[in-house]
Homo-oligomer: A and B are copies of this chain.
Amino acid sequence: MSTSKAEDALAAAATALLGDRRLLIATNRGPVTFATSADGSLRPRRGSGGLVTALGQVGRHVPVTWVAAAMSEGDRRAAGDAKLLRQAAGDDDSIRLRFASVERSVYEQAYNVIANPLLWFLQHQMWSLPERPIIDAGTMRAWERGYLAMNDAFASAVLSQARGDERPRIMLHDYHLYTAAERIRRSRPKAVLSHFTHIPWPPSSIWLAIAPAIREGIALGLLGNDVVGFQTERYAHNFLRMVETFVPDATVDYETWTVRRRRRTTHVRHYPISIDVEATRRIATSRAARRRADQLLGAARERVIVRVDRLEPSKNILRGFLAYEALLQRHSRLRGRVSFLAFLVPSRTGLKEYGDYGRKVQNEVDRINARFGRAGWRPIQIFYENDYAQALAGLSIADVILVNPLVDGMNLVAKEAVVVSQRDAALVLSESAGAFDQMADGALPVAPADVLGTAEALATALAMPVEDRGKRLAKLRRGVEREDITWWLRTQLEDLGEIAG
């Protein structure tokens, strides 16, 4: 579908679903956050992160009211200031901003005790299980008075935007908002409600480890929705199994991907998220990005391997470098002829696990550079900063892109890479990235713990004739162009439209 046709189809799906309603979206992090200036006034700042970027598209196509958590003191103050919110959203009213506001201590418990340290780690299977997590009285307090309270606040904020509407259309997002739907459903039994989980959904044996009140609260909370969406079929299947395991009065149908409970049906679907292809290209082909690409290419050796990742353990950066080391070890003719450029974006730098991991990565890089480097050739170069245009510039000049996460809900770098590549890059992709399901045909697969296999996949990619790389890349690129962010949104709106009848 051409871009404009795709946008027309999206607009049609939105109209069919909404009529003259606004779409209600709820996410933890919103499109705008407020900081308090020195003079006490509130200054809006654009939010960042994949989710905000993805959903930022929505407002272009449908009128949206977007409820986000008041994360800062500024947000809490701005929450009641209608004029300020209107200004910050842009005055055309296509997006309305609202905050779900709770006391700072409540938010801290929801966010810094439950959502990030417990749920994110659990769903990415990043625990060393013999020692963590430890569900203690503090955890359960944070669950009840933090997470559930925050979800209640979201439910109230959403409901107050749906006054007089028996069947509001509501999309809830991600691991901060697992229980809001159930509470919304109680006030609006006929609401059209969906939830989308952006991160992986692990098997039941992982959920089995944590307190029944939490895992059952999550399962029941999600069953308040009409549609529960995941990135991949495997995650959707894992959710069905979880419901079967922990919700005895639910009936799970693996054929129709539905759950029946108390005369309501929840559809369990997968909608692999994607990128805004044009916006990504626009940034990658900006004058600044192209200049940077030329600089990078000029400084690099004949062959360029590139990775772009937040610097954190689930991205499996350590094993990526060990694989590169094994490559140089086993294929000595590559020494001095290849450059590995790693664009690593600082992430949750306050977290001990992340800090420790970052230091280990740096130590390994230093060791490998010391082992193989020589005058004029540094085998690995790290770019440790948050510079999106530079990262795209890096991807654009790569011969080989390495995307080898241990676990990843989707991984948009893989999709960005095939869209911006200027040199027919080969994509080495972990089978455990959500993106693998769509990109298996074209990518070179690796198992994330398989350092030797990753080294050999890099060798294969580097040795591949450019025309083969080109064919693979073209196929991958067509896939991303076809199933882009507009497609991701449209398929969800269509499914909701069918349910709304």
Contacts and interface: CB of A to CB of B under 8 A. Distances in A.
Interface of A: 125-137, 139-140, 202-203, 205, 208-212, 215, 234, 313-314, 316, 318-319, 322, 326, 330, 357, 360, 406-407, 431-432, 447-453
Contacts of A203: 203, 205
A140 B455 CA distance: 13
A452 B319 contact: no
B406 A212 contact: no
Contact of A452 (B139, B209, B360, B406): B139
B322 A449 contact: no
A447 B128 contact: no
A490 B448 CA distance: 42
- Chain B CB within 10 Å, residue with most, of A125, A202, A450: A450
Nearest to A202: B205
B131 A318 contact: yes
Contacts of A215: 447
Given A126-B129, A130-B316, A432-B205, A447 B210 contact: yes
A304 to B, nearest CB: 24
Contact of A451 (B126, B135, B326, B431): B135
A140 B205 contact: no
B136 A212 contact: no
- Chain B CB within 10 Å, residue with most, of A127, A134, A313, A316: A134
Contacts of A234: 205
Contacts of A447: 135, 208-212, 215
9 contacts: A125-B205, A126-B130, A130-B313, A130-B314, A131-B360, A205-B234, A209-B450, A210-B449, A211-B449
Nearest to A323: B136
A318 B130 CA distance: 8
Contacts of A453: 135, 211-212
Contacts of A318: 130-131
A447 B135 CA distance: 10
A187 to B, nearest CB: 31
A287 to B, nearest CB: 39
